Amino acid sequence: MEYVIGMDFGGTSVKAGIVDDEGRIIERDTIPIDALSSFDEIMTPVIQWIKNRVKKNELEIRAVGIGTPGFTDKKRGILIAGAENIPSLKGHSIPGMIEKQTGVVAFADNDATCAAAGELLFGIGKKYRNFVMITLGTGIGGGIAIDGRIYRGRDGFAGEIGHMCLDPGGPHCNCGSRGCFEQYASGPAMVRLYSEKLKKRGIKPSEKLTPKDLFDAARRNDEVAMETLDLVGLRIAQAFGTLLNIFNAGACIMGGGISKSGDLLKKIVSKHLPDFVWPELLENVSLEIAELQNDAGIIGAAAQAYERLLSK
Ligand SMILES: [Zn+2]
């Protein structure tokens, strides 16, 4: 049996684990980090964690897989941009440092690309050689599997589905464009939409409103919540429909924190999807919820490394 270390970099900690070649986490840990400290300070406990596992020498650790927010250059592993919550990572190569200090080969990728690799190797995506996936959370990430491989594009930045423009006159987005998919279906976008609708009906929304509150209200058949989710589902269908037309995928997968409430969204998206796809390209297409859920970070980071080892 082979093993890969998966590491998911977040704003307050690195979630780390050893993942076997069937996608099971056999050891897991949380390494606290101070997101505002220097690159070396962040990496010191991370490197030590890896060294301790490799030194034991009981398991054959084949590689280290890293997941981070933002854009990581696929050739050099340098984080170019987009990880604002851990600013000192920018301009550095996490896999480069790990390889130098531990001697273990390492690969880094965007966290949504990792999530897609996780589903492809160890989750619901195993059933499909071609799929498109979105991760719904604070933002919207994406991943594309083509013929059983994750498509990374020229530099490794492919899959920014959240920044596909759905309406050039829509709300401004932090990427500089307007009307990006993320502005209609991310967690904050859902909450904004729901709040606006409540206000229009003379109801003062709570300042602490979360996507969970919206889904809970919709489950209680709250009309405003259901209308909001219908608009969100319409936008998800618009995005998936466009992608199906381009990629002729066999499945559309919804992942990320919000997909825990995915059953409700799935129904709405299915209802709208035919409006956006050439009918032949929708035949036998499945709409799925990601399987890995809470473990998507560690398993996904490991999966993208397994996937890239295959092609080395
Ligand atoms: Zn955008």
Ligand 1 center from residue 161 Cα (angstroms) = 9
Distance of CA 60 to the CA centre of its chain: 28
Q: What is the C-alpha separation between 185 and 91, in angstroms, rounded?
A: 30
Residue 294: is its pLDDT beyond 70? yes
Burial 29-54 (b: 16+ CB within 10 A, else e): eeeebebeeebeebbeebbebbeebb
pLDDT digits (tens, 9 = 90+) for 120-164: 999 999 999 999 999 999 999 999 999 999 999 999 999 999 999
Percent over 70 (pLDDT), the chain: 99
Report pLDDT for 59. 84
Tokens of 261: 């409430």
Ligand 1 center from residue 81 Cα (angstroms) = 14
Ligand 1 center from residue 165 Cα (angstroms) = 7
pLDDT digits (tens, 9 = 90+) for 245-292: 999 999 999 999 898 888 999 999 999 999 999 999 999 999 999 999
Distance of CA 222 to the CA centre of its chain: 29
Single-letter code of the amino acid located at 245: N
Q: What is the C-alpha separation between 258 and 265, in angstroms, rounded?
A: 10
Ligand 1 center from residue 179 Cα (angstroms) = 7
Ligand 1 center from residue 168 Cα (angstroms) = 11
Q: What is the C-alpha separation between 157 and 143, in angstroms, rounded?
A: 10
Distance of CA 30 to the CA centre of its chain: 19
Report pLDDT for 152. 96
**Where is average pLDDT lowest: 56-60, 87-91, 155-159?**
56-60
Ligand 1 center from residue 248 Cα (angstroms) = 24
Reported pTM: 0.95
Ligand 1 center from residue 103 Cα (angstroms) = 38
Average pLDDT for the chain: 95
Q: For residue 52, give the 3-state DSSP assignment.
A: helix
Report pLDDT for 312. 63
At 57, is the pLDDT very low, low, confident or very high (cuts 50, 70, 90)? low
* Domains parsed from the chain with CATH numbers: 3-116+295-310 (3.30.420.40), 128-290 (3.30.420.40)
Ligand 1 center from residue 162 Cα (angstroms) = 7
Q: What is the C-alpha separation between 205 and 293, in angstroms, rounded?
A: 29
Report pLDDT for 305. 97
Q: What is the C-alpha separation between 92 and 121, in angstroms, rounded?
A: 28
Single-letter code of the amino acid located at 274: P
Mean pLDDT of 48-64: 89
Residue 293: is its pLDDT beyond 90? no
Numbers of helices and strands, H then E, in the chain? 10, 12
Residue 58: is its pLDDT beyond 90? no
